[in-house]
Amino acid sequence: MLYILWSLLNLVAYLGLFYLLFHAVKLLKQRFNVAVAVFFFLGIAALSGRSKPQPKTLSAPNLLAGIPANTPLGNGSATEKTSLGTSSLFILAEYYKQDSVIQPRGLFATVSGFTLGHRWEPSAGTVVQHRNQLQYRLLMHHEWQLLGSTLYTSPSVTLTGMM
């Protein structure tokens, strides 16, 4: 519930800023002319577009430590979906199974859903065999943001489960 309230606070703040920007452009159009209003709007849009560059990756990084980069893919996989308040965490574990022994090869995690005001980022993880299932442990980095700026960073959140 706290995550939803924080997201709603961010939504109200963004709508309030948009409302103020709309009235500022309207006032500039009345006092001066359309060209000044358009120039002001484009300037504000250019300034709001400046943010920290996010690294562009085509795939999620392997979160298992100690697995060489050239490790071949496994012959099986397991998935898990976990709720993170207003968003969802999707976990994919790859493994190599021979007889009844499972050797983990990869652990991949992505976050999707309504994340306004929150930034979840998987940082590390482990996978071990537990009978016929895989037991995972995942460390998540969680930032609380207001209007895109980080206000508070939660200590590492540890998620565990079976798949």
Identify the pLDDT of residue 149.
80
Q: Give tens-digit pLDDT for 13-29.
A: 888 888 988 888 888 88
The Cα 51–Cα 46 span in angstroms is 10
* Contact status, residue 63 vs residue 124, Cβ threshold 8 Å: yes
What digits encode the pLDDT tens for the residues 100-121?
Answer: 788 888 888 888 877 788 888 8
Mean pLDDT to the nearest integer, 88-103: 84
Residues 6+ apart with CB under 8 A from 160: 135, 136, 137, 138
pTM over 0.85: no
With 70 as the cut, is the pLDDT of residue 140 above it? yes
Query: Does the structure show a pLDDT above 70 at 56?
Result: no
% of residues, the chain, pLDDT over 70? 87
What mean pLDDT is reported for the chain? 80
pLDDT at 110: 86
Q: In the sheet that 87-98 helps form, which strands lie side by side, from edge to edge? A: 76-84, 87-98, 101-113
pLDDT of residue 50: 60
**Could you give the CA distance from residue 96 to residue 49 in angstroms, rounded to a whole number?**
44
Q: In this predicted structure, what is the pLDDT of residue 71?
A: 66
